[in-house]
Structure 1
Amino acid sequence: MLYRTPELTAMDRSVLEEVAAMRHELRDVVQRSPMKWTADLRRSLTASAIAASNTIEGYRVDPVDVADLLDGEREAVDASERNKKETLAYQQTMTYIQSLWDVEDFEYSKGLLNALHWMLQGHHHPHYPAGRWRKKPIFITTAGDPHATEYEGPGEEDVPHLMEELVFWLNQGDLEADPLVRAAMAHLNLVKIHPWTDGNGRMSRSLQTLLIARAGVVAPEFSSIEEWLGLPGNTWEYYNVLREVGGPVYSPDRETLPWIRFNLRAYHEQSQRVRHRVQRSTDCWIALTEHADRFNLAERQITALHDVAISGRVRRSRYEKAEALSNQQAVRDIRALTRAGLLTPVGNTKARYYVAGPHFPAGVLDVAHRRHTIADPYKSARA
């Protein structure tokens, strides 16, 4: 038996409608925007999702460093080898998940879930077996007290048939429910079954992202709520609602509406965050093009400056890849931007990157650092 999808109230449906409206708006904006900065934004959002989900599990790499790792800059990134391995494994998993959003003959299967788990955890095998169901009990302990059990998962003998039931539900269950609600229920059921020895949290969040992406409302990179979940206060609430709804042992008859409401708030607030980010990126791109003549900029060089404005820095190799340039051309362009005072180098050799120089247009940076507010949709609805 699985945890059941709850009935939504009028307020819940109203929040869902607002999320749908923001996502349709994002889809339209992204489709109309320049491909270059849209690619930068997708890369940034993917990096933020990976960094946040790994942070929840204790693997800390700055999102900017994650983006560099995604670009192949392993030696240049200042992070432990362990954290680099976790980041690259999650990146591999997320890349595959994002590629599945428009597969016509797609279906969920136990094989797919175990394969995704191997992508995520294979580098730990055989110390932590990957790509296969656990063969022992699972106990989640209280933070700071390894002897206090907070949650006990179903017995290992029950895992195969529970996963079979979950896969059947993923393909055929509650199809009339909103895709965002189904995605949240998939997350809850997988994390409570806890079918693997390790990596269950990230797999459950990945499965949620996959269901959202399969809904096809907006590009997969704009769909994940993992960045939102990784914010410190939200992470605490995430664990708290999982405890409240899941119970101390596997209890699929418990009320799941609090979990759905937590997720609807996450969808709504992350959509607000992405909408603000999209607008800032758009405005920065437009502002930089207005300075092109003043600094004698080639259009491609705007990409490097845009990356600095939004992410805080750019690497020569990143610029070279983004613009499909030769090494020599990328070096010349970056040197020209540095001589013009638009960029300033930091570090040496392979670790070098570039930040805003003394002549970088202050107005563009003001746009990039523009503040915004995020509204809790449930508090707004009650106001």
Structure 2
Amino acid sequence: MSGIRTEEIMNKRITPPVRLGSYPPADVTFLLKDLSRVSLERATEERERAIQSGVHYSEMLPVEYQPTAQYIELFHETLQQSAGKVALAVAVVSEIIVARRGKGAVLVSLARAGTPIGVLIRRYIAEIYGWEFPHYSISIIRGKGIDENAILYILQQHGQDADLQFIDGWTGKGAIRKVLIEACDRLHRKYGIRLNDDLAVLADPGHCSGTFGTREDYLIPSACLNSTVSGLMSRTVLRDDLIGPDEFHGAKFYKEWLDTDQSNVFIDSISPYFAGAAAEARRSAMDMLDSPPEITWQGLRDIQNIQQTFGIEDINLVKPGVGETTRVLLRRVPWKILVDTMDNPNLRHILLLAEDRGVPVEVFPGMTYSCCGIIKPLKGESE
């Protein structure tokens, strides 16, 4: 890296972060501008119409779904049933990170689905190894890229050779994985920074990541809820009239929901299983490091098949996997839900949400995913 570029990175003025989110400060630092006082939410149908008419999804927010008592009960039941499984996946990913990167890593989770996973990975490494890794949560947006100011801020804090490990919750068709690869290439061209674009996820049903806990498409309980399991943070926002050249991408902190926040409940329910998972996780991690799993992008091919079968013009209307299907039901206008089988135990909350919203469910066998949500195309309808 040239001296001029190094100076540019280390001296660029960036507005420092403010305290955000409901996690303890040691768990994560959100590199996001606080937009809590800005009215950004739009009703689901209105937002869907805007997105499909060309307005970028990052310029507005969905109205946050307030789960029913029955749905919250299902979240807790699922969390209780899957805590050990999630802990093992966290442990496998953490062991791979430790083996590859040693003590010097900086954890960088992608807001917001990556944030609770980053907190869990940080907690595991602290408990098992006694290493207190710094952990930041930053914005990455399909079609717009990663928050460069957030990356530069991290390098200013930890040195230009800091070893960043990117973290997300799960993979769908691999869109964010592609954005991350492109963003790292752009940072190298622009600043001479060479970042490792590896994306660590708990579940990789899309077969597009090399660092994962499992490739099974199962319900990670944090996918059940929105802000109330992600530190009470909204999705990230990027609009020129709200975000200045020296600022981070924005988000809202929903302080008003502190009484119903499940973010730390989620973390505290899984953490007790770490010690018991460590030995098995270490064996799995070593197996994966000795024989790296193939990245085939099979999930993307499955989605292209679904797109062709149902005559869907825009691939972005097809949202594969348990996590993405949950998001479709919570904040988009669903057309139909495809499932591999109706008796898949991973899909109870999907079926509950679909029933609640009156969305038809169809069996579509042969997917690498447990399920797939299809957003209703709205173009062509009368205004």
The structure richer in helix per residue is: 1
The structure richer in strand per residue is: 2
TM-score (norm 2): 0.25
Pick the structure with greater CA Rg. Answer: 1
